[in-house]
Structure 1
Amino acid sequence: MLVWGYNINLCPDGIWCGGITSTCVLVMLVWGYNINLCVLAVLVWGYIINLCPGRAGVGVYHQPVSWSCWCGGITSTCVLVMLVWGYNINLCPGCVGVGSSVLWMNSLSLSQHTHTHSRSLSAHTHTHSRSLSAHTHTQSLSADTLSLSLGAHQNRQQLFFMAASLTGDRIQPDCDLTGRARAAEGFTMLGKRGILVVLISVAVGVYFLPSPINPQPYIFQGPPPLLEGPLAVNTRLQNGRRLFTGQLHGPESFTADQEGNVYTGTLDGKLWRINQETLTLITHMGQDLQECGSRTDYEPVCGRPHGVRLDSGGQLIVADSYFGLFSVDPQTGHKTLLLDSKTGADGVPFAFLNGLEISSQTGIIYFTDSSSRWGRRHVKLEVIETNALGRLLTFDPVSGRVGVLLDGLYMPNGIALSPDESFLLLAETSIGCILRYWLQGPKAGTKEVIMNNMPGYPDNIRLSDRGTFLVGLTTTRFRKLMPPFLDLIGPYPAVKRFLAKVVPLSWYNMLLPRYGLVLELDGEGEVLGSLHDPTGSLTWAVSDVFSHQGRLYLGSTDLPFLPVLEDWS
């Protein structure tokens, strides 16, 4: 709760001629400045109360001041929710008045007023309530020379020392400084201390701001593997071309029918059919708005299809990240909601539906909910938070029953059934790990880690034409001079909370290298080979690797094109 206070300075005739507006929040202190400059061509921004001989005005000051009039300008530094102490520094030609204007929550204040008369300056301060008081008066001896009386000089020194004591700087009582020199010195001292105080205030304010995430420490098991052997750098991923540039934005996952048609969903909530070089719109998962695809804020309205597969009846099964599981007729575009995200499972709604797979033997749909807290548009917060909030689930389209196979997963993403459907592989994106979950046999219902400490963060996993598994890495994790970003901040929840407070989500894109990488694995998690695009000339941030009729279709979450490899052998 903000408490506003006013330090009202009264002139000798009782006119209100200056004020400091200070913000106090609870018991925290905030430092700011009330700087009044009477120097030619100096611009002072802020709310002002001008008191000049014969005229007065109140407004926002943005004009140069003149030598002959007194103008009080307020420049307040209020950082976040902190409170304000202000130094009142008055600079006038040939004279100086330096005072400390202090506002506590009990309204203790020092009031100060300076006015001019025939190019001479009289400084008066009066106390009200619990205010400190000082009175100075100067008389003009000539048009170009000001002579200060001993009493006024001593009073100004007291005020000057009071300001110096607040800054911690030492001022010799007998220093022989001119008015302008003393003003400059006082301004410099206060300015240096003020910068430090402002920085401290910002840090304190940010510390007390609530963080949007509740992170847990996570330590990767070791440094990333060396790029050697089957991981050796190559350019195999560059031997392709881009299709539908500017038409497909973020084709994330793929499936295909017997006629050779390929289906995918994009960032704007649309489902598409691809036939060779022809692109056909099937339907919109949500509302058809012009803004769809322009910003992630529209995704909860427009929808975002992630996992896409065909069932035995030729219907598209779509996992929309926001709406739920759908059955879509690929010819007419008619949608049927199978499972609403609001319904969820075991009383927990789905927040981020992601990977999808369908058993050809039973028709059971396997899918992942990457987080029970974060939606897809906040995926970066989910990754930074590194909390085990994801689940692996099943849906029986015949009975409508939903089951939870695994919970407590770190952003579970893509899944792929083995050729005999005895197990499935599952990617835990935020920790760079691949699990094997047994569906049949003596280990049925158990999980095991088959690949850890990966050279990147896995997205979707797909079964290739030759029975191997292809894994797209959405972001690489390589050894460099510094550890990878998530490795670096993983053990420190306080650092994660701080970053989530102050760093906009879009800024993290600058940390993402333009490096394309696909891994080929066997069922035991052994790396058989890799495809690299070291410069991102074809693609990067690979989300899916779909092998169909000799082609590789490479997915992404937001790139505005579809990369295709004609030959990846």
Structure 2
Amino acid sequence: MTPPRRLLSPRRWTPPPAPARQGRTPTTSRFAVTRRIATGGHGPEDVVFDRHGHLLTGLADGTILRIDPATGTRTVVGNTAGRPLGLQPSADDAVLVCDHDRGLLRMSADGSLEVLLDTVAGRPLTFASNVVEGPDGTIWFTVSTRRWNLEHYLGDVIEHSCTGLLARRDPDGAVTVLREGLKFANGLALAPDASHLLVAETTGYRISRYWLTGPKAGTAEPFVDNLAGLPDNISLGSDRLVWVSIAAPRNTLLDRLLPLPGLLRVLLWNMPEAVRPKPTPVAWVMAFDLDGRLVHDLRADDASYGFVTSVAEHDGTVVAGSLHEDDLVVLAEPTGRG
């Protein structure tokens, strides 16, 4: 049974003015779907490529799928008995899974499941969001919120709880919280040289660079700030671009309410669901180079696909997934580098 909605405890924040569109470039173009890849289920929230060029995705019923992007052939890897969100393929063909209900998991190629972590900082690990793995087996993962569940994630968006985490699990199993107080921590990518992580904060409208090595190790700095939309999962493509899914544009009403006394947001949250703010139906992905410069900005407002929560690129093939859709989609290959 789904827990009841929590009482809202709003935090005030003054967001920067939203840009009309994130830096139009010569490569700004449509989110053009060339074909759909059926999952046979619902809600492929994250999509990643494995080392064989196959797709991995997790569905609402707990199924982890491996899909041949050329033929659409689906193979069931296993089932988490929870709600898989972010995925990361390992070199041994296992899959690391951030499962909303069960924590951080490792699913072997034969479908057997190991719970790596189900608590963090003394509390149950729920809403684990995204995960990456280093060459030595170190695992980094995000937790979106410590207060809300997936069904009521809009409560966190409106409350602005700032309870997200970035954490590390060492090969010996030791766990360290690296950053807390994050604004709905979400997508995660490891730099090609493993010198830093890129961390998306959905309700902070930003992606930060968290240094792992060098004189700045243990500190964070902006990578892309003041985005025009809400960044979700991110991934590093074979093109060495950072691909960012934008789940929705920023909401003008919410941006106006965030700096004001929280009672206004409490009233908004307690209105009938039909009149509360909803994500604008849009399909939107962006790509940045490793210096944070915008390279691709792909968007469609025709409701043919929506609420894009993941995007991955491999050898020119760009695939997107959505929490609310049944299919993955292959996009027309963008041209140019901005």
Return the TM-score normalized by structure 1: 0.55
Instruction: Give 1:548 deviation, angstroms.
Output: 2.1
Q: Distance in 2 between matches of 1:306 and 1:314?
A: 18
Q: How does 1:125-140 map to 2 (within 5 A)?
A: none
Partner letter of residue 209 of structure 2?
A: R
Q: Distance in 2 between matches of 1:518 and 1:259?
A: 24
Q: Which residue of 2 aligns with 1:118?
A: none
- Shift in CA distance, 445/474, structure 1 to aligned 2, threshold 3 Å: same
- Shift in CA distance, 244/226, structure 1 to aligned 2, threshold 3 Å: closer
Q: Which residue of 2 aligns with 1:453?
A: 226
Q: Which residue of 2 aligns with 1:254?
A: 47
Instruction: Give 1:568 deviation, angstroms.
Output: 3.0
Q: Which residue of 1 aligns with 2:211?
A: 438
Segments of structure 1 that go 5 or more residues without pairing to the other structure are 1-209, 287-302, 478-482
Point out the structure with the larger helix share. Answer: 1
Q: Distance in 2 between matches of 1:257 and 1:239?
A: 22
Q: Distance in 1 between matches of 2:155 and 2:221?
A: 26
2:253 matched to 1:485? Answer: yes
Instruction: Give 1:526 deviation, angstroms.
Output: 2.1
Point out the structure with the larger strand share. Answer: 2
Identity, % of aligned positions: 33
Would the aligned equivalents of 2:296 and 2:334 in 1 still touch at CA under 8 Å?
A: no
Q: Distance in 1 between matches of 2:314 and 2:189?
A: 15
3-state SS in 1 of match to 2:166? strand
1:375 pairs with one of 146, 149, 166: 149
Instruction: Give 1:226 deviation, angstroms.
Output: 3.8
* Higher radius of gyration, 1 or 2: 1
**Deviations, residues 136-157 of structure 1 (Å, cap 9, x unaligned):** xxxxxxxxxxxxxxxxxxxxxx
Q: Which residue of 1 aligns with 2:294?
A: 527
Q: Distance in 2 between matches of 1:211 and 1:285?
A: 26
Partner letter of residue 159 of structure 2?
A: E
Determine which structure has greater relative contact order: mean sequence separation of CA pairs < 8 Å that are 6+ residues apart, divided by chain length.
2
Instruction: Give 1:552 deviation, angstroms.
Output: 1.1
Q: Which residue of 1 aligns with 2:238?
A: 465
Q: How does 1:58-69 map to 2 (within 5 A)?
A: none
2:99 matched to 1:350? Answer: no
Would the aligned equivalents of 2:18 and 2:227 in 1 still touch at CA under 8 Å?
A: no
Instruction: Give 1:522 deviation, angstroms.
Output: 2.0
3-state SS in 2 of match to 1:520? strand
1:326 pairs with one of 84, 90, 105: 105
Q: Distance in 2 between matches of 1:464 and 1:440?
A: 22
3-state SS in 2 of match to 1:555? strand
Q: How does 1:44-193 map to 2 (within 5 A)?
A: none
**Deviations, residues 424-480 of structure 1 (Å, cap 9, x unaligned):** 111110121111100011100000123222110000111111111111100013xxx
Partner letter of residue 323 of structure 1?
A: R
- Shift in CA distance, 232/213, structure 1 to aligned 2, threshold 3 Å: farther
Q: Which residue of 2 aligns with 1:312?
A: 91
Q: Distance in 1 between matches of 2:92 and 2:194?
A: 19
- Shift in CA distance, 424/339, structure 1 to aligned 2, threshold 3 Å: same
- Shift in CA distance, 262/383, structure 1 to aligned 2, threshold 3 Å: same
- Shift in CA distance, 282/227, structure 1 to aligned 2, threshold 3 Å: closer
Would the aligned equivalents of 1:410 and 1:429 in 2 still touch at CA under 8 Å?
A: yes
Instruction: Give 1:566 deviation, angstroms.
Output: 5.2
Partner letter of residue 489 of structure 1?
A: L
Would the aligned equivalents of 1:225 and 1:454 in 2 still touch at CA under 8 Å?
A: no
Q: Distance in 1 between matches of 2:92 and 2:209?
A: 28
3-state SS in 1 of match to 2:25? helix
Q: Distance in 1 between matches of 2:186 and 2:303?
A: 23
What is the aligned length?
328
2:73 matched to 1:278? Answer: yes
Partner letter of residue 544 of structure 1?
A: S
Would the aligned equivalents of 2:239 and 2:313 in 1 still touch at CA under 8 Å?
A: no
Q: Which residue of 2 aligns with 1:517?
A: 284
CA RMSD of aligned residues (A): 2.1
**Deviations, residues 72-96 of structure 1 (Å, cap 9, x unaligned):** xxxxxxxxxxxxxxxxxxxxxxxxx
- Shift in CA distance, 214/526, structure 1 to aligned 2, threshold 3 Å: same
Would the aligned equivalents of 1:359 and 1:365 in 2 still touch at CA under 8 Å?
A: yes
